[in-house]
């Protein structure tokens, strides 16, 4: 007897998340020696219709984010309802692709550490190394020639750069990703103009002072140990324990994870309501009315990662010069927008000043995609686009792009076989 599928799934809350997928974690090796990890949520066939069952989707988190940007709420769960084969890559130094993992594997495999392990990578590293390796890995894992790419914030910006120079994306979806970062947002432009010139040198000076104090502390302890015993040695141990190493202090990364954990502690329902009163007037990161306090606190406490100083400085340079460039190769993201012809969706919050109608308009005007959805999400800012109340519509848009891309690729394959 033929199995009859229900056209629609039951209510989301009635479905157990783990009944929708089989999970696996696999490694991806970049050309410059990093091992990244991809978390795959492989869909299981269900009783209801799944229009994109088995279609591969690569998800790339944003600046200082890890996989929890997509898993702390119902984003991945909703895509699994439709049958999407979700692969979440964590960029170097983030989440499971941690620096600690590199040290462990390099010691085990007896190979040198990646040369940029000590927070010495930038946006070019993501574009030239991490993204190509992840796309290739998903293609090999799923035995597909093309995959759909979904990037959140910085992940979406990297998607613009990759899609303009590669032909192996079946579709491109960006969420909260500007194509002209800083355009229309004077506060961000001012921070990019004055921050590196003023804040960077100040932090560097403080690090030099801290290094000097640490050296003086160890020097004083060493002198006390040389000239005395008993009481003086105990004083020396209190100043600097015997055997402790001197540490140089330098500004190599931004401790976003620690900052977000502190914010999570104060993000009570009452404080979020107070923030909501003023959020529309000056905020662009969050509209508390569109997200639950519990999911937002969980995202803050679990979803943040340290980000290298060089990444921040490259973003500032992009904003100051109104450009998006790979400085290692000279590749200009914006000059290659016209090379993008795969189906696209650019989704952004109508309250978001980072990714707004103004700062995403150039990709909309220049890309040559025959299918292009360019849509603001009402009453949303930046952070809640992957965790908020409007995920149902956002994931519906994502499903539509993947469905169109799958039909397009099937038609191309059929046409190629017919002509062959």
Dump pLDDT digits (tens) for 198-224: 555 544 454 445 445 545 555 555 665
| Residue pLDDT, tens place only, 106-157 | 999 999 999 999 999 999 999 999 999 999 999 999 999 999 999 999 999 9
39 shares a domain with 164: yes
> What residue ranges in 192-320 does DSSP mark as E strands?
253-254, 307-308
Which residues fall within 8 angstroms of residue 228, CB to CB, at 6 or more apart?
Answer: none
Asked which of 55-59, 159-163, 295-299 is least confident by mean pLDDT, the reply is 295-299
295 shares a domain with 227: yes
Instruction: Please report the pLDDT score of residue 273 as a whole number.
Output: 78
21 shares a domain with 149: yes
Instruction: Please report the pLDDT score of residue 253 as a whole number.
Output: 86
88 shares a domain with 41: yes
Bridging pattern class, strands 21-29 and 372-377: unpaired
On whether residue 365 sits in a domain, the answer given is: yes
346 shares a domain with 293: no
pLDDT of 282 strictly over 60: no
258 shares a domain with 335: no
238 shares a domain with 291: yes
pLDDT of 330 strictly over 80: yes
112 shares a domain with 31: yes
Range of the domain at 169: 12-185+327-419
On whether residue 176 sits in a domain, the answer given is: yes
Domain boundary among 266, 301, 336: 301
Instruction: Please report the pLDDT score of residue 240 as a whole number.
Output: 55
On whether residue 405 sits in a domain, the answer given is: yes
On whether residue 147 sits in a domain, the answer given is: yes
Instruction: Please report the pLDDT score of residue 191 as a whole number.
Output: 82
Report the domain count for the chain: 2
Instruction: Please report the pLDDT score of residue 250 as a whole number.
Output: 60
Residues in the chain: 420
Across residues 374-395, what is the average pLDDT? Answer: 95
Global pTM reads: 0.89
Which residues fall within 8 angstroms of residue 379, CB to CB, at 6 or more apart?
Answer: 287, 289, 290, 349, 350, 351, 390
How many C-beta neighbours within 10 Å does residue 316 have? 22
On whether residue 322 sits in a domain, the answer given is: no
Instruction: Please report the pLDDT score of residue 206 as a whole number.
Output: 45
| Residue pLDDT, tens place only, 92-115 | 999 999 999 999 999 999 999 999
pLDDT of 236 strictly over 50: yes
Q: How confident is the model at residue 197 (pLDDT cuts 50, 70, 90)?
A: low
CATH value at residue 390: 3.40.50.1820
On whether residue 142 sits in a domain, the answer given is: yes
Which residues fall within 8 angstroms of residue 130, CB to CB, at 6 or more apart?
Answer: 30, 34, 36, 89, 91, 92
On whether residue 259 sits in a domain, the answer given is: yes
Note whether 83 and 53 are within 8 A (CB).
yes
Name residue 94's beta-bridge partners.
97
pLDDT of 2 strictly over 60: no
pLDDT of 45 strictly over 70: yes
Q: How distant, in Å, are the alpha carbons of 151, 157, 270, 285, 352 from that of 191?
A: 25, 20, 30, 16, 17
On whether residue 269 sits in a domain, the answer given is: yes
Bridging pattern class, strands 35-43 and 85-89: antiparallel
145 shares a domain with 46: yes
Helix (H) or strand (E) holding 147: strand 147-152
145 shares a domain with 20: yes
222 shares a domain with 162: no
| Residue pLDDT, tens place only, 23-33 | 999 999 999 99
Q: How confident is the model at residue 272 (pLDDT cuts 50, 70, 90)?
A: confident
């Amino acid at each position: 007897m033929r199995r009859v599928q229900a056209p629609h799934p039951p209510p989301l809350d009635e479905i157990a998340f783990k009944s929708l997928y089989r999970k696996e974690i696999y490694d991806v090796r970049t050309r410059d020696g990093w091992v990244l990890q991809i978390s795959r949520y492989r869909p299981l066939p269900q009783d209801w219709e799944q229009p994109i069952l088995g279609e591969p989707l690569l998800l790339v988190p944003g600046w200082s984010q890890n996989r929890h940007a997509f898993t702390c709420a119902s984003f991945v769960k909703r895509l699994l309802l439709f049958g999407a084969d979700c692969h979440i890559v964590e960029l170097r130094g983030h989440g499971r692709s941690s620096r600690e993992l590199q040290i462990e594997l390099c010691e085990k495999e007896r190979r040198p550490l990646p040369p940029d392990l000590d927070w010495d990578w930038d946006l070019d590293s993501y574009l030239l190394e991490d993204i190509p390796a992840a796309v290739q890995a998903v293609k090999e894992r799923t035995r597909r020639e093309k995959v759909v790419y979904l990037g959140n914030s910085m992940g979406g910006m990297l998607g613009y750069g990759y899609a303009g120079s590669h032909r192996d994306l079946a579709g491109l979806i960006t969420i909260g990703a500007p194509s002209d970062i800083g355009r229309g947002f004077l506060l961000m432009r001012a921070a990019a103009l004055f921050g590196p010139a003023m804040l960077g040198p100040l932090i560097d000076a403080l690090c030099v002072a801290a290094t000097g104090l640490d050296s003086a502390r160890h020097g004083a302890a060493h002198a006390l140990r040389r000239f005395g015993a008993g009481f003086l040695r105990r004083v020396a141990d209190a100043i600097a324990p015997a055997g402790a190493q001197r540490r140089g202090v330098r500004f190599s990364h931004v401790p976003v994870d620690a900052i977000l954990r502190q914010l999570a502690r104060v993000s009570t329902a009452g404080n979020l309501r107070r923030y909501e009163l003023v959020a529309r007037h000056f905020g662009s990161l969050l509209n508390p009315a569109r997200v639950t306090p519990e999911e937002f606190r969980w995202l803050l406490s679990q979803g943040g990662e340290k980000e290298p100083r060089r990444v921040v400085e490259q973003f500032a340079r992009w904003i100051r010069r109104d450009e998006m460039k790979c400085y290692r190769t000279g590749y200009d993201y914006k000059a290659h927008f016209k090379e993008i012809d795969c189906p696209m969706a650019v989704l952004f919050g109508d309250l978001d000043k980072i990714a707004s109608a103004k700062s995403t308009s150039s990709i909309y005007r220049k890309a040559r995609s025959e299918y292009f959805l360019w849509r603001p999400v009402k009453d949303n800012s930046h952070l809640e686009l992957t965790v908020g109340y409007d995920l149902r519509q956002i994931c519906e848009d994502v499903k539509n792009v993947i469905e169109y891309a799958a039909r397009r690729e099937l038609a191309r394959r059929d046409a190629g076989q017919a002509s062959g």
